[in-house]
Amino acid sequence: MATPKQFCRDNITWRQQVTAMLFASPMIIGFCVFMAIPLGMSLYYSFCDYTMLQKPLWVGGDNYANVWSDIVFWKALKNTLFYGLISVPCSLAISLLLAVLLNQPVPGRGLFRTLIFLPTLVPAVASAMLWLVLLNSKTGLINTLLNPLLALLGLTAPGWLQSTTWAMPAIIFMSFWSVGHTVVILLAGLQDVPVELYESAALDGCNGWQRFWNITLPTLSPVIFFNLVMGVIGSWQVFSVPYILTGGGPERSTLFYNMYLYQTAFTELRMGYASALAWIQLLIIVVLTTLVFRTARKWVHY
């Protein structure tokens, strides 16, 4: 039989558990309503023929089997992989260069840091509209500046967003516009590099490149690793900018995976097939992220 002290202690523990659950309930309810239930429904729909206008019809793995013969799927997959392979490492390299430069004790350093971060505050739609004007093949500022220089070489300025050759490079170049977030994170990592290491290396006769390669990069590798993972995931979520600029054209040369998923779900109303595409996308992201984690053992130093 429980003693009065034990009963009070058990009662207090029960009250603490109830109180904790009440405080956590908004998050738990929100997760179930907006995450767990939609994920479960999406997984179920991926095995159904569902047009949103009628009840889901179970078709088994047909949606996943149809992916192999879907030419548009492979085109979107190829475009997204190409974008990620070019934009992610280039963005990291540019961000690292800017972070190192902004870490130097020069006059106006705070102003330069603000200017680098400022483009990230511009909404994606506004940024896309700005670049749509700049990249206009006839009246855009970029071609207006390039035409006189290229005319001397007997060349003409690219058509940019109207060209199947230059549309993707133009969108990749635009991705460098928003490297401010990565620069700030790398800059914070640079602040944690011990100054004593640089001083010791300088006394040993190491030049600037040797100090950067042997001290800065190894110390900064966990931060670079974090940004690499976020960049890989983000490259598979590109949607708004190319959707506004090109809509996937010309000739699907800028059709990204997310754009094809959106068109399949909300334009063609093939919600079952779109759900299968979404789960394939998740699998691809998991595989790529796992590969990055596996390689991190060789170059990330904690």
- Residue 8 lies inside a defined structural domain of this protein: no
CB contact set of 246 (below 8 Å; sequence gap of 6+)? 161, 167, 171, 253, 254
- Residue 45 lies inside a defined structural domain of this protein: no
Residue identified by tokens 């109830």 is 18
Percentage of the chain modeled with pLDDT above 70: 96
Comparing 290 with 106, which gets the higher pLDDT? Answer: 290
Identify the DSSP state of 35.
I
The pLDDT of residue 79: 95
- Residue 16 lies inside a defined structural domain of this protein: no
Judged against a pLDDT cut of 80, whether residue 245 lies above it is answered with yes
- Residue 133 lies inside a defined structural domain of this protein: yes
Q: Is the dihedral of CA 282, 285, 291, 294 positive or negative?
A: negative
Q: Is the dihedral of CA 195, 200, 206, 207 positive or negative?
A: positive
Q: Tell how strand 57-58 and strand 48-49 pair up.
A: antiparallel
- Alpha carbon distance, N-terminus to C-terminus of the chain: 54
- Residue 52 lies inside a defined structural domain of this protein: no
The pLDDT of residue 261: 95
Task: Output the six-digit token pair for 242.
Answer: 């190319």
- Residue 43 lies inside a defined structural domain of this protein: no
- Residue 38 lies inside a defined structural domain of this protein: no
- Residue 53 lies inside a defined structural domain of this protein: no
Judged against a pLDDT cut of 60, whether residue 8 lies above it is answered with no
Q: Give the CATH number for residue 95.
A: 1.10.3720.10
**Mean of the pLDDT values across residues 11-15?**
70
The pLDDT of residue 211: 85
Number of domains comprising the chain: 1
d(CA 245, CA 248): 8
The pLDDT of residue 192: 84
d(CA 229, CA 69): 30
The pLDDT of residue 139: 84
Task: Output the six-digit token pair for 174.
Answer: 């635009």
Q: Which domain holds residue 95?
A: 62-299
pLDDT band at 3 (very low <50, low <70, confident <90, very high): low
d(CA 37, CA 143): 50
The pLDDT of residue 186: 93
Q: What is the pTM of this model?
A: 0.88
The pLDDT of residue 276: 95
d(CA 165, CA 167): 6
pLDDT tens per residue across span 62-88: 999 999 999 999 999 999 999 999 999
pLDDT band at 49 (very low <50, low <70, confident <90, very high): very high
Judged against a pLDDT cut of 90, whether residue 258 lies above it is answered with yes
d(CA 99, CA 275): 40
Residue identified by tokens 């990230």 is 120
HSE, CB side, 13 Å, CA atoms: give it for residue 253. Answer: 17
Three-state SS for 206? coil
**Mean of the pLDDT values across residues 44-60?**
90
